């Protein structure tokens, strides 16, 4: 993703500073109940000081510290939002001032009408030539072209997009490098996929995630509880002859309520969306990012995800009584209208071997589909030739594999190598087998092993026969597989896993994947895929890399770990501050409480000021961690919990004591 704007952003950016103070307005401040308490406490401290509740200097100093605490919380949110706006700016820049060559209809011979891209409507047809920018999201309905998507993805290598395939989707702002295409617009102006994403990363339409809402409720309950406690203290104190000033009560309240996590919570949520976008993944909501961290099952296509997806025909195996040339010619005939890379490789290999068959005239071509799992041609003389998966061809020829031992043996030989066997038939006669070879991606087995450590089950989905599927599954290290899979099989698998209470994620790019993408808890659609797939999924990968799902899981887990770690640290901080503030309030009237002054701080006033200074400073100190996220290392939930409790729990208790003591040494000199 191009994010030069975001990269140039400094921590003292004018826009950030303005937003920091702008968020002091009540309509913004009161959106965060925890920090709203600090805001109100600041006002109360000013009023109480002016009314003589405490010395003027001490009161104004506490007021300043409380105000700075609110400003630091605002600053954390402003920085996160600025990063989002920077990333959004790069997206918006990619499609500014675009023009479009609008067609009246697909077969029109009229000169296209040149109009602003903002005037395009859904279903409009647009002609785009080499060197032009694609003006709107849509699908190619005619032609093919190489496209530079660097303006959106940051990847300079051109990609091929072609009509009537699962790689027909195009996005506004990308550039056509070769040939020309006709695109059908898929969204009204201002409602494109990128428009929605821009709004999300800018924070304008950011919705809180369920986990964020739950944590917010917990923090609010804790805050209310501490308010009740603090409000009752004067009455309890009066019973034993202790008078507590309003200023000290406010200081106690601010130190007890979870101000650290309260101030950082919005920034953590925004940063999660930004991290997903940095990985070139457009999440439709923050919820999608977090759900990815809770995933139990990953449903992965074999081709393009586990393997490179570049299956090529590598050999022809004719059955007894069938000539090699006859098999190759029949295979070529079935592949002329097969737009898949596999189909094109069959034609290429046959020609390399000397076949010169031309595309037949007046023939009806049957294109390959995931439902039928075969392709072919019906010739003018009545001959029907088909190429496809074993079960599909057996159904076409109405034969039983048990009656053709040679075919069974040949298919098993090809499959046992991890290759994919395609069977060729003419009318009701099976001619032979084509071997399609693919290669498993490097490092994929290790990644699956890490997922297994995290308790995530991996299921490979493939149209291959069970023998091939088993060989590849064993080599790749997946936990389970579905062979000879149809689109409805993916949907059934997802529903079965969800019925057991599991969260499921899957990748898809075709229209036939849309139901499964919509059903899955996390549906990662490819940017190169069809519009139906992108609309059905709740994430879109701009790089169109199916393995990105593994990265999405890690981003989601990092988001959950970051929020959990900082929450633990914040609550642990409150424990330490409690032992600092309480003796300061009551030590004079109740000398027995002096035993709680374990830090031996200079005076009650210096103790209060030191605790509040620490409470304010810890927020900006943790901003980089909130934005970057806690480093994620694959481990079980129990291991992660132990690590977080040790580092952020124990550390969160110990660190404030050290920091407050050091601050007090400086403060005590002046107080």
Model confidence band, residue 151 (pLDDT cutoffs 50, 70, 90): low
Mean pLDDT (whole number) for 416-445: 87
pLDDT at residue 548 is higher than 60: yes
pLDDT at residue 597 is higher than 50: yes
Mean pLDDT (whole number) for 522-551: 79
Could you tell me what percent of the chain has a pLDDT over 90?
21
Beta-sheet strand order (sheet of 374-378): 312-318, 429-437, 420-426, 384-388, 374-378, 364-366
Q: Specify the higher pLDDT residue, 624 or 442.
A: 624
pLDDT mean across residues, the chain: 83
pLDDT at residue 460 is higher than 60: yes
**60-69, 184-193, 551-560: which has the highest mean pLDDT?**
60-69
Mean pLDDT (whole number) for 600-611: 82
pLDDT of residue 587: 60
Model confidence band, residue 165 (pLDDT cutoffs 50, 70, 90): confident
pLDDT of residue 525: 84
Mean pLDDT (whole number) for 588-616: 76
Q: Specify the higher pLDDT residue, 395 or 593.
A: 395
pTM of the shown model: 0.68
Model confidence band, residue 3 (pLDDT cutoffs 50, 70, 90): very low
DSSP assignment, residue 111?
P
Mean pLDDT (whole number) for 79-84: 74
Given 195, 301, 509, 545, which residue is catalytic? Answer: 301
pLDDT of residue 6: 39
Q: Which residues pair with 161 in a beta bridge?
A: 145
**314-328, 456-470, 541-555: which has the highest mean pLDDT?**
314-328
pLDDT at residue 5 is higher than 50: no
Token pair for 500 = 């057991």
E strand or H helix that includes residue 384: strand 384-388
- Residue pLDDT, tens place only, 197-253: 666 666 545 566 777 788 888 888 989 998 998 888 888 777 767 777 888 888 888
Tell me, rounded to whole angstroms, the distance of Cα 107 from its chain centroid: 40
Catalytic residue flag (residue 296): no
Could you tell me what percent of the chain has a pLDDT over 70?
88
Mean pLDDT (whole number) for 26-52: 90
pLDDT at residue 642 is higher than 60: yes
Query: Which residues lie closer than 8 Å to 497 by C-beta, 6 or more apart?
Result: 296, 297, 504
Token pair for 325 = 């040339």
Instruction: State the Cα–Cα distance between residues 471 and 392, nearest whole angstrom.
Output: 21
pLDDT of residue 2: 43
C-alpha dist (Å) from residue 652 to 377, 520, 601, 658, 668: 71, 38, 20, 11, 24
Mean pLDDT (whole number) for 642-652: 88
Instruction: State the Cα–Cα distance between residues 145 and 128, nearest whole angstrom.
Output: 10
C-alpha dist (Å) from residue 618 to 256, 259, 655: 14, 10, 10
* 357 torsion bin: left (phi>0), alpha (psi -120 to 50), beta (else): beta
Instruction: State the Cα–Cα distance between residues 481 and 459, nearest whole angstrom.
Output: 5
CB atoms within 10 A of CB 39: 23
Q: Are 600 and 584 in contact (CB under 8 A)?
A: no
Q: Specify the higher pLDDT residue, 640 or 95.
A: 640
What's the start-to-end Cα distance of the chain, in Å?
Answer: 52
Mean pLDDT (whole number) for 394-403: 88
């Amino acid at each position: 993703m191009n994010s030069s704007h975001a990269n140039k952003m400094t921590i003292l950016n004018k826009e950030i500073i303005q937003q920091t103070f702008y968020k002091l307005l009540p309509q913004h401040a009161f959106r965060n109940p925890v920090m709203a308490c600090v805001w109100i406490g600041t006002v109360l401290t000013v009023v109480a000081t002016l009314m003589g509740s405490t010395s003027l200097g001490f009161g104004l100093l506490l007021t300043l510290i409380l105000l700075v605490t609110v400003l630091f919380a605002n600053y954390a949110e402003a920085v996160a939002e600025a990063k989002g706006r920077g990333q959004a700016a790069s997206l918006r820049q990619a499609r500014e001032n675009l023009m479009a060559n609008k067609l009246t209809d697909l077969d029109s011979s009229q000169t296209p009408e040149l109009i602003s891209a903002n005037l395009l409507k859904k279903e409009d047809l647009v002609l785009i030539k080499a060197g032009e920018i694609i003006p709107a999201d849509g699908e190619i309905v005619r032609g093919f072209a190489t496209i530079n998507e660097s303006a959106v993805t940051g990847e300079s290598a051109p990609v091929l997009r072609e009509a009537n395939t699962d790689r027909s989707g195009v996005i506004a702002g990308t550039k056509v490098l070769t040939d020309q295409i006709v695109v059908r617009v898929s969204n009204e102006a201002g409602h494109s996929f990128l428009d929605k994403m821009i709004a999300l990363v800018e924070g304008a339409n950011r919705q809180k995630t369920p986990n964020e809402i739950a944590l917010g409720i917990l923090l609010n309950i804790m805050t209310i509880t501490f308010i009740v406690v603090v409000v009752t203290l004067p009455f309890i104190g009066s019973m034993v002859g202790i008078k507590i000033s309003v200023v000290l009560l406010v200081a106690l309240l601010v130190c007890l309520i979870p101000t650290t996590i309260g101030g950082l919570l919005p920034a953590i949520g925004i940063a999660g969306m930004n991290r997903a976008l940095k990985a070139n993944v457009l999440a439709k909501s923050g919820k999608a990012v977090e759900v990815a961290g809770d995933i139990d099952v990953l449903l992965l296509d074999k081709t393009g995800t586990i393997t490179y997806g570049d299956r090529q025909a590598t050999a022809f195996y004719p059955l007894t009584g069938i000539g090699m040339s006859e098999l190759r010619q029949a295979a070529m005939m079935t592949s002329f209208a097969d737009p898949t890379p596999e189909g094109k490789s069959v034609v290429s290999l046959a020609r390399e071997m000397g076949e010169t068959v031309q595309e037949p005239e007046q023939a009806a071509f049957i294109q390959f589909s995931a439902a039928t799992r075969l392709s072919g041609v019906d010739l003018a003389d009545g001959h029907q030739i088909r190429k496809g998966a074993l079960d599909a061809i057996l159904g076409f020829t109405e034969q039983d594999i048990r009656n053709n031992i040679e075919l069974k043996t040949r298919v098993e030989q090809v499959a046992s190598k991890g290759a994919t066997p395609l069977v060729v038939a003419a009318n009701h006669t099976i001619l032979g087998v084509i071997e399609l070879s693919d290669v498993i991606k490097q490092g994929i087995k290790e990644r699956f092993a890490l997922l297994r450590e995290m308790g995530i089950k991996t299921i490979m989905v493939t149209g291959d026969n069970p023998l091939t599927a088993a060989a590849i599954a064993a080599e790749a290290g997946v936990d389970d597989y579905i062979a000879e899979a149809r689109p409805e099989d993916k949907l059934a698998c997802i529903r079965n896993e969800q019925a057991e209470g599991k969260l499921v994620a899957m990748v898809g790019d075709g229209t036939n994947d849309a139901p499964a993408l919509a059903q899955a808890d996390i549906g990662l659609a490819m940017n190169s895929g069809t519009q139906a797939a992108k609309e059905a999924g709740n994430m879109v990968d701009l790089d169109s890399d199916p393995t990105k799902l593994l990265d999405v899981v890690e981003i989601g887990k990092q988001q959950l770990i970051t929020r959990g770690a900082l929450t633990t640290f914040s609550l642990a901080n409150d424990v330490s501050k409690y032992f600092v503030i309480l003796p300061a309030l009551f030590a004079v009237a109740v000398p027995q409480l002096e035993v709680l002054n374990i830090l031996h701080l200079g005076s009650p006033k210096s103790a209060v000021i030191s605790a509040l200074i620490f409470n304010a400073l810890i927020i900006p100190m943790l901003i980089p961690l909130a934005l970057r996220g806690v480093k994620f290392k694959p481990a079980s939930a129990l291991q992660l919990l132990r690590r977080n409790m040790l580092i952020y729990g124990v550390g969160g208790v110990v660190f404030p004591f050290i920091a407050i003591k050091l601050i007090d040494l400086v403060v005590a000199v002046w107080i």
